[in-house]
Structure 1
């Protein structure tokens, strides 16, 4: 296996997952995370770079290190710069260069690859998760927001400026609910975790987590209505993906899918009801790598 050969040759493989609130670093061997560390993410690029350098030292990095960094936001496919990361408040940040500076005195030979965090997660699921063995998959990750990714004919789709497969911000309802991106009617504005919570609070005056609203849906009409709306939006999102790219499989993942037992099945059922006669429904599978998807995918992209 390729990763094992790299390790046997004295080279090491690491993945980094930078989200809005956390940073996770893991050593990857044979397509799985064998060591990991996690902490609250710093605010400035140089602080995050120092955190990565510290984590590499903690995990025993030495010699030649292939480092894949999955970062929330738009990543330029040509330069690897973070063009815009709203969660981190970054614009035009060369994080790879910052990490190289932070590790200058460590003796590491660092080879850094930058990628959007969701793209990295999709690649992980494609290579060694739910999509293994397929050539064409889409992935939809439902957490606080909605992220997505595409692998077509075995290649990751990034788009011209790093914004490929931002499915959460495709239109669902023209002139509909306001999204955090500034537009109206996005899928995320109906089915993202923040949206489920906001719609429920508007109806009841109560602020609950999306997973709590899910568990109340059997006896709480407001909870049921909010989640019916979210499931309808997600089913239409899967239908849109199927119509445009005709994938073999759609992988559903993210914190909301993991915490809301049965949600993926209900979305899959609603999607199949929409497909109609004469059309092929894509297989729908739950992500297998869960929280390690970005770490593994980013690491594999660094090879």
Structure 2
């Protein structure tokens, strides 16, 4: 059940709902629009929706603790808004300021309502300040989680884009690798290659490592795992791009590639693939 001060607070703020919104917009709408990340109508709607949810929840809540179940509607709104702002390109500070900026118009209304009771004004305003601080910090937490999720998804998309599997010939696939080959990328490489083998029914795949700067034990193991997975799907692999430095490194590391065909260039590997298919390429004769 609401405390007397909480009931009085809900009554005061509820009576001045329109005035609160007007003052809040007047003070902070220009700040929210400064970077042009959202249209004015969208931002006005956010201000109005948050204030309405906050004031509608206030009479039903029996605590000023923002984490309690009574405040779930407010938290849900802020979570959705924070995630949306993360996608729009706002900063955590800009998102939290949306909540903190409500303090100024709220204090103005409370100062008028509790003008004859300074002690009550101090008590109520302090509790409201803590409540809004909690909501502001909550937006920062949700914003960061949303931003981390966006970054993780973008990294996955970049990995997929950086490991294209192309069909060189009927039954021959090519997987050009550029950059470092770590465990996460190996998983994407393997999934992309295996899926392409299933889609095309290819029996040969050329893995070109010309663009891989260094090959260590871990990279070699990743390559062997990919070759083994492809073989389980019925496709043999040829590794191309074995430069002299890489060849020496593989020998020093003691990595066994005796069961894997290797070539120095993609062109050489393609010729081997065509030979295994029984295909040949002939140059056209020059015109007489």
Compute the TM-score of the two structures, normalised by the length of structure 1.
Answer: 0.23
Larger radius of gyration: 2
| TM-score (norm: length of structure 2) | 0.24
Structure that is richer in strand per residue = 1
Q: Relative contact order (alpha carbons < 8 A, sep ≥ 6): 1 or 2 greater?
A: 1
